[in-house]
Amino acid sequence: MMFRFEHNELLHVLWILPILLAWRFYLLWWARRQRRRFAQSEALKRLAPQRDQSKSWIKFILQWLALTALILAAANPQQGGKVENQTVSGAQIVFALDVSRSMMVEDVTPNRLERAKQLISRMMSHMKNDQVGLIAFAGKAFPSVPLTPDKSSLLLQLKQLDPGSVSAQGTNFSSMISLAATYFNQSQPSDKILIVVGDGEDHEGGWKDRVDALRKQDIRVFTIGIGTEKGGLIPERNARGTVTGYIKDEDGSAVVSRLEPRTLKELADYGDGEYHLLTSLQGGERFLRDVVSGLGRSEFERKVFTTYQSQYQWPLSIALLLLIVDWLLFERRTRWLQRLRTINESQSADALSKTKEV
């Protein structure tokens, strides 16, 4: 069974619940403070004998739980009841993202790495049935997401990538190309492309010999350059994300990282693809959309949950039940409970008077 919410964005409204709880505690503290300034607690009980503070809390909890249930109902929880093999037609597309420290330079807004992530995220809507994969590389490449038709898993992993994802710093195109050559499914005759996104810095060299492995598999390479030729300093940040300084070389001078389009252009040329300088997200999206739309696609099977049954009626019913109970509950003391307390107090008084007489 597969479970999901049809409208995940509405779940963000749940953040209001702890805020309401904190506000309730604040109001309770403020009210007690004001009452103490007005009169003693025993005097207040005589002034408002019918008021029951415990019921006030019960009503608040009922309303709080009802609001929670209503938010969940609005998000529409759904349950998948049937799994089928679905035949779709798609291409194979792998993104290789540079996550080295130079990608943190802020010569583009907000920085090179975040700009690259935004571009890749925007491209997912243009790859409906295509299989996508993700490679992260710096001084070494590692497989982040294998080829999959599930775009959500790639987007989730993409958000978590940063320079700390790779232990070896630097930029190693050879390692990335070698890993990319093992990424594609050769049993499918669909077009295969590798999209490299980075600033073009290459600290290792020797990558040209590795491109032959891609050519033999008919894998074309497209490259996206991010950054400016003027460049910028590479920031160092603490755990809070605050800039504490800038990376320096052996001489103690701040390192300036610049876009190096030559490497990216050569890689695209060797890989029978094209190079594009990212000056705007719209321009980069348009370039890659044209590339993707021209790919040849082949059929493959994937498992999908074909039917989802809405379950919103359950949290909605719970919310209505809680609201009905809240409506029936008054903050005044229940009569039978009040009478019971009066009897107990009377009996206690009689017992005390008899003790005094003895």
Per-domain residue ranges for the chain?
A: 2-76+311-357, 85-304
E strand or H helix at 322:
helix 313-328
pTM metric for this prediction: 0.64
At 259 the pLDDT is 95
**pLDDT mean over 334-352:** 55
At 345 the pLDDT is 56
Q: Which CATH architecture has domain 85-304?
A: 3-Layer(aba) Sandwich (3.40)
Q: In the predicted model, is pLDDT for residue 226 greater than 90?
A: yes
Q: Which residue has the tokens 């009905």?
A: 324
Backbone dihedral angles phi then psi of residue 115, each to the nearest 5 degrees = -65, -40
Collapsing DSSP states into helix, strand and coil, what is residue 181? coil
- Indicate the range of 132-141, 197-206, 262-271 predicted with least confidence: 197-206
For the record, the structure tokens of 166 come out as 């790779």
E strand or H helix at 17:
helix 16-38
At 30 the pLDDT is 85
34 HSE (CA, 13 A, CB side): 6
Q: In the predicted model, is pLDDT for residue 331 greater than 70?
A: no
Collapsing DSSP states into helix, strand and coil, what is residue 45? helix
Residue 332's pLDDT band (cuts 50, 70, 90): low
**pLDDT mean over 53-63:** 83
CA–CA distance, 160 with 140 (Å, rounded to integer): 17
CA–CA distance, 27 with 50 (Å, rounded to integer): 21
Could you give the percent of the chain with pLDDT greater than 90? 56
**pLDDT mean over 195-203:** 91
For the record, the structure tokens of 111 come out as 């920085």
Interval 244-293: pLDDT, tens = 899 888 888 899 999 999 999 999 999 999 999 999 999 999 999 999 99
- Indicate the range of 50-54, 210-214, 299-303 predicted with least confidence: 50-54
Interval 65-83: pLDDT, tens = 999 999 999 999 988 666 6
